[in-house]
Amino acid sequence: MRFKDKVVLVIGGNSGIGRCAAEGFGAEGAHVFLTGRDQKTIDETVAGIPGAQGFRADIGDIESGAAVLAAIKAQHGRLDVLLVNAGIGTFKPIADVTAEDWDHVHNVNLRGCFFALQKALPLMGKGGSIVITGSIGSIVSVPGNVIYAAAKAGLRAVARIFAGELVAQGIRVNMVSPGPTETPIISRTGGVSEAEVAGLREIMSNVVPMKRMGTPEEIARPILFLASDEASFITGIDLYVDGGCVEL
């Protein structure tokens, strides 16, 4: 019960890693608020977490998160834990990348995440914890991944600077960067057919030293650790949860 009576917001908490994390927070006693773009999966997730509240919001639309923050302020007056997990992916070779492709992904994965963090800060104070979902793609050269990788690399810089600026306020900021993970984002990746998705899964599994993809649960567990007081002397890190991809 590391999060008993803690107020937790999971942005992008209706599927994959975010959903597993939201369920984990709820199981450990948190008051869980979550956002997502799909009302059906929001409702399904909330139904499985006692007392949880879900809000439809698109992190790419900066103002769409206002309702959940207003609800948190009205009901609790504070936010103890923030997980920024929302993101989208795309695979395109450099020659095929358009300005529209670039802006679409960066609007969500970098710009949207920055402003979601910024707008939540007035509700946070000493003892607060922020965790951001990154990606080992920010440091690993994967052909076709230039748009996504650049956005996640930018987000890593954002996380580091937030950690530096907020340390004096007693707010910790950390990042968890998954390796290849079996989440719905794979199927939603732009520019990739079903056959290519299957091939992509095989390729990703083979590049992992453990020879398999990770599960959302395996990423959520380190997220909960960094969000909890067990990690009270940890801030500014980027924790690779990748089956050994980066280090081996």
Express each pLDDT in 202-229 by its tens digit: 877 888 999 999 999 999 999 999 999 9
Residue 21 lies in a domain: yes
Look up the domain containing 158 and give its range: 7-241
Residue 137 lies in a domain: yes
Residue 1 lies in a domain: no
Residue 186 is predicted with a pLDDT of 63
Confidence band (pLDDT; 50, 70, 90) for 192?
low
Residue 13, CA distances (Å) to 137, 140, 157 in order: 21, 26, 23
| Options 3, 55, 148, 162, the catalytic residue | 148
Residue 205 is predicted with a pLDDT of 85
Q: How many domains does the chain have?
A: 1
Q: Give me the helices (H) in the chain, please.
A: 16-27, 39-47, 66-75, 99-106, 113-120, 146-166, 185-188, 194-207, 216-227
Of 34, 4, 1, residue with least CA distance to 17: 34
Q: Is the pLDDT of residue 88 over 60?
A: yes
Q: Is the pLDDT of residue 115 over 70?
A: yes
Retrieve residue 240's tokens: 């690779």
Kindly state the average pLDDT of the residues 103-117: 98
Residue 2 lies in a domain: no
Active site includes 240? no
Q: Is the pLDDT of residue 197 over 80?
A: no
Confidence band (pLDDT; 50, 70, 90) for 188?
low
Q: What is the per-residue burial (b if ≥16 Cβ within 10 Å, else e) of 10-22?
A: bbbbbbbbbbbbb
